[in-house]
Chain A
Amino acid sequence: MDARLVRNRATIGRPGGAHAAMSLVIDHITKRFGDVVALDDASFTVEPGRIFGLLGANGAGKTTSMRIVLDILRPDSGTVTWQGAANTELPRRTWGYLPEERGLYARMKVGEQLRFFSALYGVPDADARAVIDEWLERFRIPDYLDRKVEELSKGNQQKIQFMAAILHDPEVLIMDEPFTGLDPVNVRLLKEAFLQMRDRGKTLIFSTHQMEQVEELCEAIAIVDRGKVIVSGAVRDVKRAMGRQVVRLATDGDGRGVEWLSNLPGVTFTAQRADYVELQVPAGQDPASILSAALERGERVTRFEIADPSLEEIFVEHVGRRAVSEEEEHLAATAHEEPPA
């Protein structure tokens, strides 16, 4: 399926207009570093008060788009607006940022360091102290206030870094791979913090490779590949736009042949698991037809499930297919070339 078509469909499915003025709008951004095109006419919209996932392979352009939104990097062309105002005009405290490369002043005490960053964002010192205590408590590290950062474990350093990003109560929180390096307990703590911030009306954007986090948290996503936004929009719309549904079927006739399933019109047999089979049904065909076909054959159905394709499938399909086709193009192109002398 054509990527452009998918994007258009996802875009059409999104409620636009009234919301767009309040949203974070990344509009036709292009950014080159020398000969490398980091972002190529990238556009997507993040609605306020939502958790938004930015997906892409390594080097796809996620970090560059975040830096451009934060206005620490300027694009070659295109604009970023938040609630109608250009990001270059917005005060720094609008944003909170957790960079992918973690870094704090190693030899500075936790409390001092967090108060320093709060001061840069214009938070009065007394307020900063109160908020720092509150968050240290929530992250179960209250006695780290006077410890030097270099004495902390990586995971705890990361929690401090997250605090540095949010102590000034930003409207938009942008995080590059926030979950990497955290144990399950801390992942849970961080997710709770995300949801709580979302409930307070904050907008959260994060990038990750871990699709389960996206499935669990994100209401909308954008998939970026080689500087291009392949698809963006509400997760539901993105899944629908794939144009197919997944059916998982199990019958108690174990070991009996399932060949009859592939004879059903339009149905693609995708996987046989230990206790069920997985099928794909194209859009426009009612998945229930499989169930009725099974019942007609006299099968005893123990499981019948209609699901959207997982984000992982969607991601692999978009990014993987593109990568493969470009590889082929590249091979085809170089086959005719003589190696340079």
Chain B
Amino acid sequence: MSNVFPNALHVARREYLFRVRGRTFVISTALLAIAVAAVTMVPTILGAVGVGDPPEVAVHVAADDLATDPIVAIQAVLIAGGGPEGEEPAPDGESEERARVTRADDPEAAADAVRAEELDGLLTITRGASGDLAFEYLSGSGPTDQTRVLITQAANAMTIADRLERAGISAGESAELFAPPDFTAVAADPDDARGDEDFGGSIILTYVVVILTFMAILTYGNWVAMSVAEEKSGRVMELLITAATPRQLLTGKVLGTSAAGLTQYVVMILAVVIGFVANGPLSAALGVEGQLPFTLPDLEISWLLAFTVFFLLGFILYATLYAAAGSMVSRIEDVQQAVGPLIYLAMAGYLSSFVAMNIPDEPWVKIASLVPFFSPYLMPARMLLSTVALWEVLLAVLLLAVTVVGAIWVASRIYSAGVLLYGQRVGIRSVLRATRVAR
């Protein structure tokens, strides 16, 4: 058997150039990049859209014995509810731009203004017969309208404050009643680095890693299988197999397609970075605070390296088998059927990683995170959501690498037998029989 290189590189180069020059690739990459960049800016843009049309509500206070000014209370709720959750209301100067709550001295005129859509709503506060406050909200909005929901919340808060007041509890005392508890979570493992603040970010990053891996396997794996099947059905395969060995062809095909897939990923990641960077100026221009609702965990370079290794090895493992599957069919239409088992395998790892996110320390998750076909999903997930010993990571990488080498060997034999078998349906049995004497 001759060396894999340089012929694998010639094949990879052809595959890569053919791929990235194709119109489909250029268009799909551009669309993905735009979509991804847009997603990163959506929160800012949505915030800006909300700000562009601040709610304007009039309040007619018929009850004259309220302890707190309802105008101030409603305004506070509207502003706090409009921004990111748990955020302090913005300083007064800026709050004017967000929501306007005015006192309606003439309720009839205000009601007319609501009907003319000059005002978003008119809230009338009266003292009911039972002694409780009664609220009447006149507006054109439905029950899910955010302003209406917030005003309902404000009405609840005002009613409770009013009842407490009437029960003889002062405003200061009631504020104490509703103060949040002192709650501290203590990790049993002193090495457990998970902090409450960055945990949301870790989960999001796990999603990103798992989804990117799955997408790469499905999309680019399919490219590999299609490309092999095309060469076979287009009969260029006989020329290739005469000029180069099956292992050279297979390795080159996987490398070239991986490189094209990575190109697409790099463009997408650049789009995300651009999106995040552009968020600052964009939010400044739109007059909102362009802050992400979470903070990314601080990752060491070694972790990123580990994720990259898992991603690449995992992808190459699947792509190699996709190539073997592609070599078994005679017609391009049959590719989907041939890669079916691989899709199920990839999907099993993908779905199990979502289950594992909530229980990263279960024994089966620990074991599965070492198993080659699942480790590309589960080990990064465990690394992000739990604590993993270094030996576990190294063992998973080692097992994965050994499996990749084995898969290339098996796949080349299937490939060298499969590429010359033509027929309606080339079954696994005839391929296996042919591999016994394959070169």
Contact = CB atoms under 8 A, between A and B. Distances in A.
A116 B430 CA distance: 32
B239 A104 contact: yes
A99 B238 contact: yes
Contact of B239 (A74, A97, A106): A97
Interface stretch (B241-249, B272-280, B317-325): B241-249
A121 B18 CA distance: 20
B437 A120 contact: no
A74 B416 CA distance: 10
Interface string A153-164: 000000001001
A120 B13 CA distance: 11
B420 A92 contact: no
A102 B235 contact: yes
A103 B236 contact: yes
B236 A105 contact: yes
B238 A92 contact: no
Interface in B389-439: 416, 420, 430, 433, 437-439
Interface in A70-121: 70-76, 88, 91-92, 95, 97, 99, 101-108, 116-117, 119-121
A67 interface: yes
Contact of B420 (A73, A103, A161): A73
Interface residues of B, number: 25
Contact of B243 (A102, A103, A106, A120): A120
A17 interface: no
A46 B10 CA distance: 33
B302 interface: no
A88 B2 contact: no
B14 interface: yes
Nearest to B434: A33
Q: Give chain A's interface residue range (CB within 8 Å of chain B).
A: 20 to 34
A102 B235 CA distance: 6
A119 B2 contact: no
Contact of A108 (B18, B240, B433): B18
Interface string B227-259: 000000011111111111100000000000000
A255 interface: no
B139 interface: no
Nearest to A161: B239
B336 interface: no
A92 B235 contact: no
A72 B437 contact: no
A144 B416 CA distance: 32
Contacts of A104: 234, 236, 239
Contacts of B238: 72, 97, 99, 101, 103
Contact of A117 (B237, B239, B416, B430): B239
Nearest to B232: A103
Nearest to B245: A92
16 contacts: A71-B439, A72-B242, A75-B437, A91-B2, A92-B2, A92-B243, A92-B244, A97-B242, A101-B238, A103-B235, A104-B234, A107-B18, A116-B14, A119-B7, A120-B240, A120-B243
